[in-house]
Structure 1
C-alpha cells in the first residue's frame, strides 16, 4: 500500500509499504479521508518523535478485514476510527482525565512502524483494545466520509466547551477564526451562547460571521476591549477560548474577560514561550485559567451526534482537498495559509 512516511523533520516520503496484517482481535480499515490536524503538522515540522512513523488520526473509512475474534464488525462497514481509547480504570480515567491515561497515550492505531495514528496511508490497523472499547463508530448512511472525519476534532472542541461550562445566554470570546476557532463558534452557538471572534485576516473575520458569530473583529483593533465591553453591558465576556498560540491573544483575552470569568488554553504554545503574569490579576478578579488537551471519551457519543445529525455545519469548514501523495504541499499550505484556508482533507 501507499503511505506518507515521516523520515525526519519536514521529511515526508510517499512510499510503498506492506499492508498491516491483523491479529485475531484487530480490524483493518481502508482510509477514505483523513483530516490534516495542527498536531500532525507539529509532529512533522519539529523534532518531537523519532522516525519512521505514519501520522494522521482524523480518519474515516471502510472496514477491509476483521480478525477471527471480532464479532461486531464486518467487511464493508463504514466507520469513524478513534485513534485513542482510555483504559477506564486508572486514577486519571476515574477523574475524567482520559487524555492523561497511559493506555490512551500509548495504544493507538497504526499503518506500520511505531504506532502513531496511521491515517496518512491507504490502510490503518485498529488494535484490539480500541476495537473492544468503542473505538470504531458506524457512519450512518446519509453521512459522508468527509463529514465523519470531523467526529474527532469535534470531540476535542466539545471537550473544551464542556470544561469551560459554557451556558446558554453567556458570551464567549474565541481568539482565532481558523478551522478550530470556527468550530468553536458553531459549538458555542449550538449550546445557546453568544460568540465573539477575532482574527488577523479579513476573510476569516467574514467567515466567522457567516458561521454564526454575533460579532467578529480584527485582533489588532486597539479598541477591542471597549467594543466587547459595549456588547456585554460593560461586563466583558464570560469565557475566552484561545484557539491560537499567541501571547498577545492571551493578554487580549485577559482584558476582555469579566471578573469571575474563565480563560481556556486550547492551542498548544511553543515550548520556549513563557507568559509573565501578575497573579494578583487572577486573585483580585477571580479569573479561572484552564487548559483542554485532546479528546474526551465522556463526550464521544455527543460529538458523533452533533456531526452525524448536522447540528453544526462541518462542510462549511472544508477549504482544500489533497491526494495523499501531495501531503507535503498540504502541510505547507496549512503552515502558510491563504486568507481562505480552513480545514484541509487528505485522500489516500
Structure 2
C-alpha cells in the first residue's frame, strides 16, 4: 500500500486503487519473457515500451501511456488492490527464488524512489545523508542509505515514525519545527551541512529548508511534488538537484534485488502491519494515523505463517 489512503481520507471514490505489487503470473499469454507461475515485481503505470524514455527503461516517464482496458476490452484490471492485474510483460521484473515475496514487495515504492535518488547522487559510505520526512518512502530512504553504509540524519515530527527511523538506523532524528534546525545539522556535520539530502515529506515548506541543511556543493533529490526552491541559493551553494520518481528495473533490476537481500532485517522492521484485502478500510484508517511503516495488503488474506507482530491487531516492537 502507498498513498491511496489520502484519497480515502478525502472521500474520493476509485475502482482502480493501487500502483505497486508483487504477484504470480497466472496467464503469460504470448510472452517470451515470462511463464505461468513466475513471481514478479509489478512496476507502476503502463509505458508504451517504444518511446525514448521506455527504451531507456524509464517507463515511469513515458508520455504515451497505454490504455490497457481499451486494448483488452476489460472493464477492470489495472489497479493493484485486487486478485488479478493486467500488465505488459516488460513492466514485470522476475523475483529470484531466494527472495521472499514480502521482501520483494519492498522493491517498488518502499525502496525504489530513494534507490534512484541515491544512485543519481552517488551516495557512498563516507556520506552523511539527510532524509526529510519519515513516511514509508522516507523510511525506505533510511534503509537504502544505511545498507550502502552512509550515515543518516532524519527530520520527522511524528513520534511513532521518529522511533521507527531510529530503529532502522538513523543516527539522529530531528524535529522539523526546531528554530535551530539548521544549526543542529551543521553541529552534527562539522559545521558544513549534510553531503546529500532527500526530501520525501511533500510539505510545501520543506524544500528551501532542506536546501539550507546541505553543505556547499551538496546533492539534493526530490521524491515529492510540493514546494519551490530559490534559484539564487541553488546557484550560490553550487548544488546538484535531482528529481527521482521511481526506479529503472531494466538497468538496475539485479542491483535492486541485491539491495533487497542486503536489507532483509531492516525490511522486516519497515513492514509493520499486514491486512487482508477485505479489511482495506481498516488499513486506510491506520495509515491516516501515521502509526505505521509499510503496510502490506493480501487479496487472499494474511498468510498464517506471519508473526503476530506483523498483523493488523498488534503494535510492532521497534
Superposition TM-score tier, normalisation by shorter sequence: 0.7 to 0.9
Instruction: Tell me, yes or no, if the aligned pair for 1:84 and 1:135 is still in contact at 8 Å.
Output: no
CA deviations 1:108-157 (Å, max 9, x no partner) are 699953663x221112233xxx32x36241341x4332212112122222
Q: Displacement, 1:162?
A: 1.3
The equivalent position to 1:64 in structure 2, one of 8, 26, 30, is: 26
What SS does the corresponding residue of 2:211 show, helix, strand or coil? helix
Structure 2 CA distance for aligned equivalents of residues 242 and 312 of structure 1: 24
Instruction: Tell me, yes or no, if the aligned pair for 1:80 and 1:139 is still in contact at 8 Å.
Output: no
Structure 2 CA distance for aligned equivalents of residues 111 and 227 of structure 1: 57
Instruction: Tell me, yes or no, if the aligned pair for 2:77 and 2:85 is still in contact at 8 Å.
Output: no
What SS does the corresponding residue of 1:344 show, helix, strand or coil? strand
What SS does the corresponding residue of 2:217 show, helix, strand or coil? strand
Q: Displacement, 1:259?
A: 1.4
Q: Displacement, 1:79?
A: 2.9
The equivalent position to 2:233 in structure 1, one of 281, 303, 307, is: 281
Give the structure with the higher percent strand.
Answer: 1
- CA 1:138 to 1:97, structure 2 compared with 1: closer, same or farther past 3 Å? closer
Uncovered stretches (5+) of structure 1, i.e. residues with no partner: 1-35
Q: Displacement, 1:94?
A: 6.0
> Any residues of structure 2 matched to 1:9-158 within 5 Å, and which?
36-38=1-3, 40-41=4-5, 53-67=15-29, 69-71=30-32, 73-84=34-45, 86=47, 90-93=51-54, 97-102=58-63, 105-106=65-66, 113=75, 116=78, 118-126=79-87, 130-131=88-89, 133=90, 135-140=92-97, 142-153=98-109, 154-158=111-115
Instruction: Tell me, yes or no, if the aligned pair for 1:52 and 1:113 is still in contact at 8 Å.
Output: no
- CA 1:77 to 1:90, structure 2 compared with 1: closer, same or farther past 3 Å? closer
- CA 1:254 to 1:287, structure 2 compared with 1: closer, same or farther past 3 Å? same
- CA 1:300 to 1:43, structure 2 compared with 1: closer, same or farther past 3 Å? farther
CA deviations 1:215-267 (Å, max 9, x no partner) are 22122222221121122111101122111011332232122111111222212
* TM-score normalised per structure 2: 0.80
Structure 1 CA distance for aligned equivalents of residues 25 and 63 of structure 2: 27
1:326 and 2:283 matched: no
Structure 1 CA distance for aligned equivalents of residues 233 and 44 of structure 2: 39
CA deviations 1:185-221 (Å, max 9, x no partner) are 1111222321100110233222212211122212222
Structure 2 CA distance for aligned equivalents of residues 177 and 198 of structure 1: 7
Structure 1 CA distance for aligned equivalents of residues 282 and 179 of structure 2: 36
Q: Displacement, 1:312?
A: 6.3
Instruction: Tell me, yes or no, if the aligned pair for 2:41 and 2:104 is still in contact at 8 Å.
Output: yes
Structure 2 match to 1:27: none
Instruction: Tell me, yes or no, if the aligned pair for 1:79 and 1:138 is still in contact at 8 Å.
Output: yes
Structure 1 CA distance for aligned equivalents of residues 106 and 49 of structure 2: 24
- CA 1:281 to 1:71, structure 2 compared with 1: closer, same or farther past 3 Å? closer
- Number of matched pairs: 295
For structure 1, which segment, 287-296 or 73-82, has the greater mean C-alpha deviation from structure 2 after superposition? 73-82
Once superposed, what is the RMSD of the aligned Cα atoms? Answer: 3.0
For structure 1, which segment, 242-251 or 86-95, has the greater mean C-alpha deviation from structure 2 after superposition? 86-95
For structure 1, which segment, 252-261 or 309-318, has the greater mean C-alpha deviation from structure 2 after superposition? 309-318
What SS does the corresponding residue of 2:26 show, helix, strand or coil? strand
